[in-house]
Amino acid sequence: MDDAYARSVSEVLEAFGVDPTRGLSDSQVAENAKIYGRNVLPQEGSTPLWKLILKQFDDLLVKILIAAAFVSFLLALIDGETGLTAFLEPSVILMILAANAAVGVITETNAEKALEELRAYQADVATVLRNGCFSILPATELVPGDVVEVGVGCKVPADMRMIEILSNQLRVDQAILTGESCSVAKDLESTAATNAVYQDKTNVLFSGTVVVSGRARAVVVGVGSNTAMGNIREAMLRTEDEATPLKKKLDEFGTFLAKVIAGICVLVWVVNIGHFHDPAHGGFLRGAIHYFKIAVALAVAAIPEGLPAVVTTCLALGTKRMARLNAIVRSLPSVETLGCTTVICSDKTGTLTTNMMSVSKICVVRSVHRGPITTDFTVTGTTFAPEGLIFDMTGMQLEFPAQFPCLLHIAMCSSLCNESTLQYNPDKRNYEKIGESTEVALRVLVEKVGLPGFDSMPSALNMLTKHERASYCNRYWEHQFKKISLLEFSRDRKMMSVLCIRKQQEIMFSKGAPESIISRCTHILCNDDGSSVPLTAEIRNELEARFQSFAGKDTLRCLALALKRMPTGQQTLTYEDESNLTFIGLVGMLDPPREEVRNAMLSCMSAGIRVIVVTGDNKSTAESICCQIGAFDHIDDFTGYSYTASEFEELPPLQRTTALQRMVLFTRVEPSHKKMLVEALQNQNEVVAMTGDGVNDAPALKKADIGIAMGSGTAVAKSASDMVLADDNFASIVAAVAEGRAIYNNTKQFIRYMISSNIGEVVCIFVAAVLGMPETLVPVQLLWVNLVTDGLPATAIGFNKQDSDVMMAKPRKVSEAVVSGWLFFRYLVIGVYVGLATIAGFVWWFIYYDGGPKLPYSELVNFDSCSTRMTTYPCTIFNDRGPSTVSMTVLVVVEMFNALNNLSENQSLFVIPPWSNLWLVGSIILTMFLHVLILYVKPLSVLFSVTPLSWAEWMVVLYLSFPVIIIDEVLKFFSRNPRGRRFHFRFRRADLLPKKEAHDK
């Protein structure tokens, strides 16, 4: 029943045909079970493993690599190759792709855990009325129409409409569903609100929420998928994971690269059609196959096989650094996403605030004989931990607070007129509450006040174990006084009272809403001397003014405390006893903002990141918190910046668009609103980070570009998120954003490094093929260069230091290409030089090297007709491994020098020297060691078709390689000066990498 909240109790009971005194009969239960199904969240069928694996290979570059591996294997077999050489290249390619696929599968299976975690919030059992008798049944057996009884501590087993309250009140903690910081009072009255949100449905108990006060009966109106929890599950199922900005740009780059590769491969093959008939090939078909093999080698050279592995490694290194900042990354690509985040939608309760109600101010009457009449005390400590100090109005710390009469009696009343429990959880290493947050806040205050009469009390309390310390002072007062009668809180009285006895003296302690307590007081307790004096109109006005200040300006939740000496021997309390009270004091409490949040908000603003506070709380409370954390700095009128969910939904489309661009606060929201907000911002091309800790946040966390859950939050929120804040601290997000930006900068550097290296390989093979030279590099050598000599330095570039001004720049645009314009030109120049230097080494060996054949250039470019002509040299010279070894070594060494160029995009090596990144220096040394290993160790040299080099060959390699440093220094110089920037502007329009217009801002 979707509209049970809008119907009266009798209408709901009549709709299900149930007698509230007998419950459903067995036949009705069976019939309803058939109609509505079981009270369980359906288990979603997981994606088959084979489908997840296939999905990882659904990428154009990957498909080209697989095709290249398959073709190279077939060509090897056609050429009669067997054993390791035939299988090496395709095997290595397939192993790399398999490793990346494994990472992808593991990442995707994490997403399905969020749906399973929802089951943990379903109740196990329920007290059900059937056939006139109450019995405890598994909650899964509940059907709509069942009458269920709930009490304090009960987890609500299904969505239920209240039909009878069996105590003075019923309060429910539904923070996991709505994010409200305080428990909610429930009633029986139907709701007339249009477009009612969960907070408006005060007569409905929602599945998974917890009863914190009172006892009641309700009729089940929704089970399984038809509950509030079921709606969250459906929202999560409908939410598709968004590709990260880096993934999108790499996909676009891959598509572009694939087209270029295909074009070059076809061009190389077509250009050499005239050579298919050359006698050296043994026929037209074998000539076609030979040049097809060169085209395949070109494809292998052009595709940076190590790129996926290097990106994954760099992001993994980033996750380690972020873990040290208390940001635990669950999804590797989200590390980079933080760098371009433009909007952070932050949950208020538990994220910007501690989600632990605490007393922050106390007001008592000093004395009626001298002014001022009242005085305030400030209480520190913002958690449930019994740690905090009390200061007077001058800022002086009270060394022994319990020596002050009013504070002493406030502690007594707070401890005794209380139904909550505070305990220490050793597993979680924190203090936890059972019951109302406001009552637990009073218990914590008792511990901060301490006990009277002991000079060593503060230090003595600190010597206790955390378990003993949790309620030491509260237990002291509970042993001193014996409770003999209780008047529970009721909505009409707005107060509760407890009758206690100590040393034959009966005392009644009362607490409640200030307006209710003060109106029943006739005397006041003075803090200066502990005397009780009549409450005059002047003092009453002063107390009401202080209450209005606490509740209005400071937006504190206020409670007044009072006591009354009762006649000796009285054993019960009546409502009439709640009169002629003596006022003790006024306490103001709030869910306090975290201390670090204000600075974090300022950092976000300076970094060009907008923060929108999203909460289920009411508007005034949330606006007060926003003022305290700096979200409303420089804003006097909140109109246009603060909206409730219903106000936002009523806006016309055009005004809604404008509101999204200015919004700072979004209140009275439920789960669907959070997800709607994320989608609306994404439609405006914003990159959205969403923080949250409750079950209600899960759909929005999953939908956002990056979902950030709190470490103390629900398992559902963590499973649906990309990142978890171990310390629940909003400030950690700012540190994580800075790290994300640095990671992206480093990612760009090593991607550009790999691109320029691969351009060099393509130029080398393409120019050699066009000129008609022998193969300068064989495929297995290209594979070695791409995986080892490219991969290690590229990974080390990920350790480049973070720029000092990384958080002063605005977020980059999503449409920004990884490599574009002037930068692409720069790396094209570098790539062309790398390719020409590699060919130069090959040509030098044949024409100029004393240990080579010293052929004329014309003989080199006509090598394929050698067998048909009379020559002064044997044709087998073209099969010598020496020239390709020189070419391969030039390629390796020039790329090592090029790696040093990538310490910074524009800064010279004289400003940022190589030793600023020792990991890069180490990777270069290791790479050269591995290269020397394959040159001089016999089995490896045979495998890679290389031969040892002489000293003269090494000197030529260095001469050809080092100029890449000089060329890039010149290009960096142009990048830094105005002429370079103007040159950059001319290239911007002719962006050589694709952009999707849909993502342009």
The two structure tokens encoding residue 124: 């196990």
Tell me what pLDDT residue 852 has.
Answer: 80
User: What number is the average pLDDT over the span 419-435?
Assistant: 84
CA distance 407 to 413: 10
Task: Decide if pLDDT at 17 tops 80.
Answer: yes
Q: Look at 77 and 689; give whichever has higher pLDDT.
A: 689
Tell me what pLDDT residue 114 has.
Answer: 41
Q: Look at 863 and 676; give whichever has higher pLDDT.
A: 676
Residue 301: which pLDDT band, with cuts at 50, 70 and 90? low
How much is the mean pLDDT over the chain? Answer: 80
**Which of 21-35, 220-234, 570-584 is predicted with the least confidence, judged by mean pLDDT?**
220-234
**Which of 47-61, 145-159, 419-433, 628-642 is predicted with the least confidence, judged by mean pLDDT?**
47-61
CB half-sphere exposure, 449, CA atoms < 13 A: 31
Tell me what pLDDT residue 72 has.
Answer: 66
Tell me what pLDDT residue 111 has.
Answer: 40
Tell me what pLDDT residue 962 has.
Answer: 93
Q: What is the pTM of this model?
A: 0.62
Task: Decide if pLDDT at 243 tops 90.
Answer: no
CA-to-CA dists, residue 15 to 3, 535, 710, 928, 950, angstroms: 11, 55, 42, 81, 96
User: What number is the average pLDDT over the span 887-908?
Assistant: 86
CA distance 759 to 769: 15
Q: 663: how many CB neighbours lie within 10 A of its CB?
A: 23
**Scanning the structure block, which residue is given the tokens 């003014």?**
545
Q: What is the pLDDT of residues 200-210, one digit of tens each?
A: 888 999 988 88
User: What number is the average pLDDT over the span 899-905?
Assistant: 82
990 by Cβ neighbours in 10 Å (0-12 / 13-18 / 19+) ranks as exposed
Residue 797 C-alpha from the chain's centroid: 25
The three-state DSSP-derived secondary structure of 814-873 is CCCCCCCHHHHHHHHHHHHHHHHHHHHHHHHHHHCCCCCCCCCHHHHHCHHHHHHCCCCC
CA distance 708 to 706: 6
Query: Residue 775 is which amino acid?
Result: E
Residue 636: which pLDDT band, with cuts at 50, 70 and 90? confident
Task: Decide if pLDDT at 1001 tops 60.
Answer: no
CA distance 673 to 679: 10
Is the peptide bond between 144 and the residue preceding it cis, with omega within 30 degrees of 0? Answer: no
Tell me what pLDDT residue 310 has.
Answer: 65
Q: Look at 936 and 288; give whichever has higher pLDDT.
A: 936
Task: Decide if pLDDT at 110 tops 50.
Answer: no
CA distance 593 to 346: 13
Q: CA triplet 666, 669, 675: central angle to 5 degrees?
A: 90
Strand partners, 24: 130
Q: Look at 832 and 489; give whichever has higher pLDDT.
A: 832
Q: 139-143, 244-248, 434-438, 599-603: which has the highest mean pLDDT?
A: 139-143
Catalytic residues: 347
CA-to-CA dists, residue 955 to 402, 834, 962, angstroms: 85, 17, 11
Residue 44: which pLDDT band, with cuts at 50, 70 and 90? low
Task: Decide if pLDDT at 785 tops 90.
Answer: no
Among 553, 552, 551, 562, smallest CA distance to 585 is for 562
Task: Decide if pLDDT at 238 tops 70.
Answer: no
Q: What is the pLDDT of residues 543-555, one digit of tens each?
A: 999 998 888 777 7
Residue 866: which pLDDT band, with cuts at 50, 70 and 90? confident
CA distance 587 to 513: 10
Q: What is the pLDDT of residues 432-482, one digit of tens each?
A: 888 788 899 999 999 999 988 765 566 677 778 888 888 999 999 999 999
Task: Decide if pLDDT at 713 tops 90.
Answer: no
Tell me what pLDDT residue 96 has.
Answer: 60
User: What number is the average pLDDT over the span 803-808?
Assistant: 67
Contact criterion met (CB below 8 Å) for 662 and 789:
no
Task: Decide if pLDDT at 831 tops 50.
Answer: yes
| CA distance between the termini of the chain | 45
